[in-house]
């Protein structure tokens, strides 16, 4: 039976290891105190509620504070003592130094900067010039130097006008990015994948043709912002990253967040096309590696007797190693490469040549042409070598075998999953001294469409032994409340508000998350248990039944 005061959840326990967070925590508790109606309770009740919500150490700290027994029951005196204990007196010189050194950081929003400046000014004791000092700090601390100069030229500049112009300037910049578009380049990208496609070389006899100017199709450089698709969701026009619908989405292909499967770059690899001997082979090195990527699929393989860590890439059509790993004494002389290699920017890469290498794993070995490429990040093993070494297999379909463990546990514990069940012992309701009984004389009306369902539910509860009929008059009697469930079935509830006011509250300290996690060390199997019809399994004392009757 929960007290109505805590129908609104209180703030979490206070972190005693971070005493500087006390002002923020007590402000949140004050809001809870007003919203829940706790402030209308007596002083002793409010103090006990404060100590309970704070946590275990609150009683020990309160006992060390220089307060009399009477002061310890006054809410204002206790909070004032905690303020002096956790925060103490502020060093005004230090607070002013922090205030004057506050600058807007790279990527920090104007709203966050303005809010932090106001917080830093709280303990500086600026007095009547507080607004002017905050205005000057905002003007001096913003990163937009042109806006700062424009604000300094305004002789009638106020704090409100400063905040308005700073916010408007930030909004205009965001809108301009949407209207005009922004194009970023991939910096620090490293080539680490190779694909092959073939380009047909055409020859023409006769004099050279004059260059023609294209008038039908616009060039890529002349595309407007609204003509380009978003690289993360594929929609037109482009939009800021915060507004992209794929921001929190997980790709179904590569299982990474931030883009849809339709625009996944991991699948944009060009397959090899076999054609006649008149074609020119071009190897394309297409995937790029950036900071913060997931761990690659790598394996240590012997190359000409030396162990080399290769990245296994099923999308690559050739095997390649960096030029720094090539040894003429071990690998032999370089041969002319039969294919050209291009990078992500479609520019030719520098290939020193190829070697005929002996590649060996624990179970298989093969001989492959290995390309020696300048500035390659790490060795790559292509699809032909992966197939020869049996490091990759073609799978037509994948099915996940689901094991239903419920049947196993039902067979092991048949009594647990049948009937309602009953907990050991019984519960006694402790009433306050001088509690005045309350009995409802008229039952609450049940809607006609639910009347038959309510009767069936009451009969079922009586058959289970949860309730039983009482024919004689009683001192206590509460009203029944019928609440429909999502499945349209009735849920029988009882309005025990008047009884709760007369019950002595029992306080139970819930275990902390850290304590629970510590007890789970080494656990491997976890079960989620849900008791059917909670609290029905708890039996009441026989002499207490008359206090929980309902009509």
213-226 residue pLDDT tens: 444 444 444 444 44
Residues 55 and 104 in one domain: no
pLDDT, residue 218, reads 44
Residues 352 and 446 in one domain: no
pLDDT, residue 404, reads 62
Domain tally, the chain: 4
pLDDT, residue 226, reads 47
Within a domain: 215: no
Who has greater pLDDT, 418 or 378? 378
Alpha carbons 56 and 119: distance in angstroms, whole number: 30
pLDDT, residue 518, reads 82
Lowest mean pLDDT among 185-194, 196-205, 211-220, 243-252: 211-220
pLDDT, residue 380, reads 84
Residues 452 and 510 in one domain: yes
End-to-end CA distance of the chain: 19
Within a domain: 108: yes
Taking alpha carbons only, the member of 106, 168, 103, 170 closest to residue 137 is: 103
Q: How far is CA 111 from CA 104, 115, 121, 143, 166, in A?
A: 10, 6, 16, 13, 9
Alpha carbons 389 and 520: distance in angstroms, whole number: 43
Domain that holds residue 96: 92-180
Q: Average pLDDT, stretch 291-300?
A: 65
Within a domain: 514: yes
Who has greater pLDDT, 209 or 435? 435
Q: How far is CA 198 from CA 329, 465, 507, 548, in A?
A: 33, 81, 77, 85
Percent of the chain with pLDDT over 90: 7
Single residue among 369, 388, 407 that ends a domain in this structure: 388
Summary mean pLDDT of the chain: 77
pLDDT, residue 164, reads 92
Which tokens is 413 given?
Answer: 């514990």
pLDDT, residue 147, reads 92
Within a domain: 255: no
pLDDT, residue 540, reads 78
CATH number of the CATH domain containing 382: 2.40.70.10
Alpha carbons 226 and 236: distance in angstroms, whole number: 6
pLDDT tens, position by position, 162-195 = 999 999 988 888 887 777 654 444 444 455 555 5
Within a domain: 81: yes
User: pLDDT band at residue 544, thresholds of 50, 70 and 90?
Assistant: low
Within a domain: 63: yes
Residues 431 and 515 in one domain: yes
Within a domain: 235: no
Residues 445 and 510 in one domain: yes
pLDDT, residue 7, reads 65
pLDDT tens, position by position, 28-85 = 888 888 888 888 888 888 888 888 888 888 888 888 888 888 888 888 888 888 887 7
Is the model's pLDDT at 278 over the cut of 50? no
Within a domain: 268: no
Alpha carbons 160 and 164: distance in angstroms, whole number: 6
Name the one residue in this structure whose structure tokens are 């109505």.
4
Residues contacting 485, CB < 8 A, separation 6+? 491
Residues 383 and 495 in one domain: no
Could you list the beta-strand ranges (E) of 57-188.
Answer: none
What's the pTM value of the predicted model, to 2 decimals? 0.29
Q: Is 203 exposed, middle or buried (0-12, 13-18, 19+ CB in 10 A)?
A: exposed
Residues 335 and 309 in one domain: yes
User: pLDDT band at residue 281, thresholds of 50, 70 and 90?
Assistant: low
Alpha carbons 35 and 46: distance in angstroms, whole number: 14
Residues 99 and 76 in one domain: no
CATH number of the CATH domain containing 507: 3.10.10.10
Backbone angles phi and psi of 365, in degrees to 5: -150, 160
Residues 379 and 335 in one domain: yes
Asked if 270 contacts 199 with a C-beta cutoff of 8 angstroms, the reply is no
User: pLDDT band at residue 138, thresholds of 50, 70 and 90?
Assistant: very high
Residues contacting 431, CB < 8 A, separation 6+? 502, 503, 504, 547
pLDDT, residue 203, reads 43
Asked if 391 contacts 361 with a C-beta cutoff of 8 angstroms, the reply is yes
Residues contacting 196, CB < 8 A, separation 6+? 270, 272, 281, 282, 283, 284, 317, 318, 339
Alpha carbons 323 and 352: distance in angstroms, whole number: 7
pLDDT, residue 236, reads 77
Give the three-class secondary structure for 321: strand
User: pLDDT band at residue 158, thresholds of 50, 70 and 90?
Assistant: very high
Q: How far is CA 278 from CA 200, 203, 273, 340, 447, in A?
A: 7, 10, 13, 15, 86
Single residue among 86, 118, 138 that ends a domain in this structure: 86
Residues 430 and 355 in one domain: no
User: pLDDT band at residue 399, thresholds of 50, 70 and 90?
Assistant: low
Asked if 530 contacts 457 with a C-beta cutoff of 8 angstroms, the reply is no
Residues 375 and 489 in one domain: no
Single residue among 127, 160, 180 that ends a domain in this structure: 180
Which tokens is 165 given?
Answer: 């112009």
Name the one residue in this structure whose structure tokens are 């009884």.
499
Q: Average pLDDT, stretch 519-524?
A: 84
Alpha carbons 348 and 280: distance in angstroms, whole number: 14
Residues 303 and 335 in one domain: yes
Residues contacting 285, CB < 8 A, separation 6+? 191, 192, 193, 194, 195, 320, 341, 342, 343, 344, 349, 373
């Amino acid at each position: 039976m929960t007290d109505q005061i805590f129908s609104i959840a209180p703030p979490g326990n206070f972190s005693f290891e971070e005493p500087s967070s006390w002002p923020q925590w007590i402000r949140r508790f004050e809001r809870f105190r007003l919203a829940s109606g706790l402030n209308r309770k007596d002083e002793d009740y409010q103090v006990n509620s404060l100590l309970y919500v704070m946590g275990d150490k609150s009683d020990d700290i309160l006992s060390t504070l220089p307060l009399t027994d009477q002061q310890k029951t006054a809410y204002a005196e206790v909070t004032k003592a905690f303020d002096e204990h956790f925060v103490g007196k502020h060093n005004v010189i230090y607070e002013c130094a922090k205030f004057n050194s506050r600058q807007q950081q790279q990527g920090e929003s104007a709203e966050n900067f303005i809010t932090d400046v106001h917080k830093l000014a709280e303990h500086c004791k600026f007095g009547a010039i507080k607004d002017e000092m905050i205005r000057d700090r905002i003007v001096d601390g913003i990163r937009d130097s042109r806006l700062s100069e424009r604000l300094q030229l305004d002789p009638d500049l106020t704090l409100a006008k400063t905040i308005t112009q700073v916010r408007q300037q930030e909004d205009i910049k965001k809108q301009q990015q949407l209207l005009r578009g922004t194009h970023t380049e991939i910096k620090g990208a490293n080539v680490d994948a190779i694909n092959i496609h073939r380009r047909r070389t055409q020859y023409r006899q006769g004099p050279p043709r004059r260059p023609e100017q294209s008038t039908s199709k616009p060039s890529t450089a002349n595309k407007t912002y609204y003509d380009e698709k978003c690289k993360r969701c594929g929609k037109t026009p482009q939009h800021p990253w915060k507004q992209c619908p794929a921001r929190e989405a997980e790709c179904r292909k590569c299982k990474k967040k931030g883009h849809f499967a339709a625009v996944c770059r991991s699948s944009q690899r060009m397959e090899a096309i076999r054609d006649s001997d008149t074609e020119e082979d071009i190897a394309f090195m297409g995937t790029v590696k950036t900071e913060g990527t997931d761990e690659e699929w790598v394996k240590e393989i012997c190359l000409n007797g030396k162990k080399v860590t290769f990245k296994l890439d099923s999308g690559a059509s050739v095997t390649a190693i960096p030029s720094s790993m090539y040894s003429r004494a071990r690998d032999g002389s370089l041969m002319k490469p039969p294919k050209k290699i291009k990078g992500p920017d479609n520019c030719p890469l520098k290939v020193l040549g190829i070697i005929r290498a002996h590649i060996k794993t624990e179970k298989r070995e093969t001989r492959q042409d290995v390309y020696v490429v300048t500035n390659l990040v790490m060795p790559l093993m292509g699809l032909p070598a992966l197939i020869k070494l049996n490091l990759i297999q073609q799978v037509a379909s994948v099915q996940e075998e689901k094991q239903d463990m419920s049947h196993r546990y039902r067979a092991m514990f048949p009594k647990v999953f049948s009937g309602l069940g009953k907990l050991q012992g019984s519960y006694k309701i402790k009433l306050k001294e001088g509690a005045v009984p309350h009995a409802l004389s008229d039952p609450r009306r049940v809607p006609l469409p639910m009347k038959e369902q309510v009767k069936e539910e009451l009969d079922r509860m009586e058959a289970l032994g949860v309730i039983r009929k009482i024919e004689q008059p009683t001192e206590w009697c509460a009203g029944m409340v019928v609440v429909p469930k999502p499945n349209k079935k009735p849920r029988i509830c009882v309005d025990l508000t008047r009884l709760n006011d007369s019950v002595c509250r029992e306080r139970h300290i819930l275990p902390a998350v850290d304590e629970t996690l510590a007890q789970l060390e080494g656990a491997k199997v976890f079960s989620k248990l849900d008791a059917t019809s909670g609290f029905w399994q708890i039996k009441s004392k026989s002499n207490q039944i008359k206090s929980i009757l309902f009509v």
